[in-house]
Every structure is written in structure tokens, then in C-alpha cells.
Amino acid sequence: MGPEFQLIEAFVAAARASPRTPAGPGDDAAVLPRGRGETCVTVDAVVEDVHFRRASSRLEDIGHKSLAVNLSDLASMGARPRWALVALGVRRGFSLREARALGFGALARKTGTALVGGNVTRAPGLSLTVTVGGEVAPGRALLRSGARPGDVVWVSGTLGDARLGLALLERPSGKEARRLRRAPRLARAAVARQRRPSARLELGVALVGLASSCIDLSDGLVQDAGHVAAASRVAVHLALEAVPCSEALEVAVPDASERVRLAAAGGEDYELLFTTSPTRRVAVLRLARRLDLSLTPVGEVRRGRGVHVRGADAGDLGGFDHLA
């Protein structure tokens, strides 16, 4: 367990007098009772010089990402978004024009997420701390704790593109950028995955009743698979050669071993990792066709503990650390 998660565990332990909830902390969102249904609530922050560089980021992308990363947590719970609160931190002199340019509103309208309140304060740099709430039927929320031995491990989409996009933004003359000079469309697609991630909301809702566990891939495949393994008290075995990579990543990183390692540890993909009974394989593939979204089996759940990666040391594939 890295320092970030040790800090979270210590903070949660110090607040154990708080009212108990049906689920959370420990999942992508807390599950709270609400009338005849349940509300999933989560909070996340997008902070200058931690999650983005102001010099290489557009305001519309920053606002979009601040909401998208939270919606991704709801997606992994199988919840539909309903409302959001935003705490906005800005430097002195942040203008009304800049406030209007933040792309939060466009994604909120697209996903039916109502902005119901928030706060503005002065800060050393730009930050958006977003709390979102969504709805799910009672007892139907997807959790990290449902994986069972024999289950198949799946991931949506392709992995490693956000990490590649970050490399292209921060090292425009680097080896990855040079290899993509003749493929500007692929380069733009990778940068878009970093700047404007998509929450897999439709997939998450469709996985309710189909998946035994689920998590969004925010910190890297291996690290996030470890959260499922810990919550479910099982071992997650991953096959690196099965990890799906995009055409952009294949061109930018031609060495297959290096490419899959980057895809497994890159972080910020905001795809979903989920587990299902092997008897549900046909149903998953049918869902992939209906959503026009690749869903790829990348491993299996076994008895034991931790994450085991075929062809690599899992300890060398740690994901994003917010405190590093």
C-alpha cells in the first residue's frame, strides 16, 4: 500500500464515529439510502500542477475533466448522474471570461448533471473539487467487493492513451511525438484522451446485474485491480499481452513489451475494469456490440491475495500516486 492510500486509511480510521453507510469508504462512491432508491456520492479534485499544467491546458478541457473523472466513479457503480457541487479555487484576478470558459457546463448538460451549488475561494492555483450524486436501484450498486474465484476480468476500450497524451503535451519533441508526426490524427486522439476523458456511464448502467465487481481505471490497471483484489479478498491474475492498446500507442511505442507495461501502469484512462462469471461471456460480448465498445478479457480471479501479472513484476507496475 502506497503513502496515498495509507493516508486515506488513517483519515478514515480517525472518523469512525461518523454514521455508517451501506457501502463506502472503500468503493468508487459511497452508497446512501434515499427513499425507495439509493444515491451514490463521490468527490474528486483536479488541481493545477498535480493533474494538469496550466500552460498546456485549455480552460474548457480543465472543467470537462473535473466533472468527467467524477462521473467515471458513478459509472463504475452503475449509477446515473443527477447533481453536482463544485468548490472552485482560483488565483487573484481570475476573470468572468475565464469562469465562463471552463468546460464544466457543457458536459453537465450532456449527461443531465445539474449543478446545484458550490463555493469559490482564492487559491495558489486553479482547482476544481467536484462532488457528484447519482441514482441506482436498491442493492444494485456495483462494488469492488463482489469478485469471486473463477470470474473473468474485463476492461473497456484501450489503455495507455492518456499517458501517451500526457507525454505528447509535456515532451512535444520526444520520441513518441516524433513517431507520430506522420499520423497527426492519432496524436490528436491521444491528447484528447488526456484532456477530455469520457466516463463510461452507459456501460456502467448496463453492467448492473451482469458484473460481479467493478472499478474505474484512474490510477492504472495493476493498481486499480489491486483494489478489487483487496476488497474481494481474492487474487487477480492479469495477462499483459491481452491488454488492449490503441493504434496511436502502437505507433508511438513500437516495442510491445514497453507498450503493454505503459498501458498497464499509465493511469487516467477512465475505462472500467469489471469481473463476471465465465458463464456471462456471451452476454458481455453482446453488450460490446450493442454499445459499439471493445470489452476485452485480460485475466481471471483466483483464490489467494493480491495482483499477479504474467510476464512482469506487479510491483514495478504501480500506477499514479497523488502524493508523489
SS3 318: coil
Of the two residues 152 and 37, the one the predictor is more confident about is 152
The residues, ordered by sequence, that sit 6+ positions from 201 with a Cβ below 8 Å of its Cβ are: 71, 74, 75, 80, 81, 111
Q: Is residue 318 a contact partner of residue 225, using CB atoms and an 8 Å limit?
A: no
How far is the C-alpha of 199 from the C-alpha of 270, rounded, in Å? 6
The pLDDT, as a whole number, for residue 28 is 66
DSSP letters, 51-93, are TB-GGG--HHHHHHHHHHHHHHHHHHHTPEEEEEEEEEEE-TT
For the segment 57-112, what is each residue's pLDDT rounded down to a tens digit? Answer: 899 999 999 999 999 999 999 999 999 999 999 999 999 899 889 988 899 999 99
Residue 196 has pLDDT above 90, yes or no: yes
Q: Are 198 and 224 in contact (CB under 8 A)?
A: no
Average pLDDT, the chain: 89
Tell me the C-alpha distance between 227 and 306, whole Å. Answer: 9
What percent of the chain is modeled with pLDDT above 70? 86
Whether 251 has a pLDDT exceeding 70, the answer reads yes
CA angle 222/223/228 to nearest 5° reads: 90
* 134-192: pLDDT as tens digits: 999 999 999 999 999 999 999 999 999 999 999 999 899 999 999 999 999 999 999 99
| Predicted confidence (pLDDT) at residue 195 exceeds the cutoff of 80 | yes
- pTM comes to 0.88
Q: Rounded distance, CA 151 to CA 165, Å?
A: 32
Residue 212, number of CB atoms within 10 A of its CB = 22
- Of 142, 144, 135, the closest CA to residue 38 belongs to 135
User: Which domains does the chain carry?
Assistant: 28-136 (3.30.1330.10), 144-317 (3.90.650.10)
Q: Residue 131 contacts by C-beta under 8 Å, 6 or more apart in sequence? A: 41, 42, 43, 70, 84, 85, 86
